[in-house]
Amino acid sequence: MEKHASCKKTTIAGQALIEGILMRGPRKTAVVCRRPGEEPVVKLEPTGTMSHGAWARIPVIRGVVSFWDSMRLGIRALTYSADFLGEDEPEEPGRFERWLNDKLGNEKMEKAAMGAALFLGIALPVVLFILLPTLLAGLIGDSLPSLARNLIEGCFRIVIFLTFLYFTSRQKDVHRTYMYHGAEHKTIACYESGRELTVENARDCSRFHPRCGTSFLFMVMLVSILFFSLFSWSNPLVRVITRLALLPVVAGISYEINRFAGRHDNGLTNALRAPGLALQRLTTAEPDDSMLEVAILAMEQVIPENETEDRW
């Protein structure tokens, strides 16, 4: 696969969906999905990375804002993209769904479902990657110094994270989403290389990208190990509360490290990028041309007219 030098480093970021791509630029967010054999459908939202004002671009704070927006918009887009699975006939609503529709109305029921999906989308990784490692480390008791318990907790967190990625990458149903993930990376790399956004040009780019969400999540794991090791509370409940309260700080610091690694090319930043790039072998796959078409269409919707807004 041919590699091309990056002419610029864009702030535009994406997310793979069930049958599509989300791309988020400075001014807009685009969701492009397509049922097999049909034309792609474009959905635009006037919420971009610059939509929150100057305060949201302050270092560390911008990482927290970006993390929240990625969760909120990403889960909403995933729910929307589930309708593009290509099913011939929609399923009949069950008794409980009909009861909710009668009580709340269709619009309120959709908002309630979206709120539940958002809650679960945030709660599941918190439970899996924050609470579970903390509780497992708590089983060790007071036999080890606090620093050692914190480091063991961090090891549990990384092992659970890697195990989760490995088993999800083996699921056939998830594989197409990982192909879309590869299409997203190839399209962004094509745009950054300064080449015309075509399927032929994007196909020839790498599916591995240093500013990927996978890299960010792994950086969160590493930063949490170092950051939480500074605190020595042994009470399990206090430890859990502390982890949850400090999670935004960890996300903000991790974002800044990821941003620094993405902006520079030297021995240190190459070392910082290496684990995330290696993990992308699990979370990305080579896309087909139809997926690249979707990714390119999504990218074209969010490229800003003013290039100065798109500086990483």
Hey, where are the domains in the chain?
13-86+94-309
Distance CA 153, CA 138 (A): 8
Q: Which residue, among 122, 43, 101, has the nearest Cα to 302 in the 3D structure?
A: 43
pLDDT of amino acid 99: 45
- Asked if residue 224 lies in contact with residue 250, where contact means CB atoms within 8 angstroms, the answer is yes
CA torsion sign, 256 to 261 to 262 to 266? Answer: positive
Tell me, what amino acid is at 228? F
Model pLDDT, residue 109: 52
Q: Which residues pair with 45 in a beta bridge?
A: 29
pLDDT of residue 107: 56
50 touches 27 (CB < 8 A): yes
Torsion angle defined by CA atoms of residues 125, 126, 132 and 134, in that order, rounded to the nearest 10 degrees = 140
Torsion 218-219-220-222 (CA) sign: positive
**Which residue stretches of the chain are H helix?**
61-81, 95-104, 106-126, 132-138, 146-169, 172-192, 199-203, 213-228, 236-263, 267-283, 289-302
- Report CA 82 to chain centroid distance, whole Å: 17
The first and second tokens of residue 121, run together, are: 């989308």
Q: Residue 234: its pLDDT value, please?
A: 65
Instruction: Split the chain (312 residues) into runs of 10 and give each run's mean pLDDT.
Output: 63 92 94 91 90 87 89 87 67 52 56 61 75 80 74 88 87 89 96 95 94 88 84 73 86 91 87 92 94 97 86 70
pTM of the model: 0.81
Token pair listed for 48: 């971009």
The angle at the Cα of 26, spanning 23 to 27, to the nearest 5 degrees, equals 90
3-state SS string for 23-70: EECCCCEEEEECCCCCCCEEEEECCCCCCCCHHHHCCCHHHHHHHHHH
Tokens of 38: 């049909």
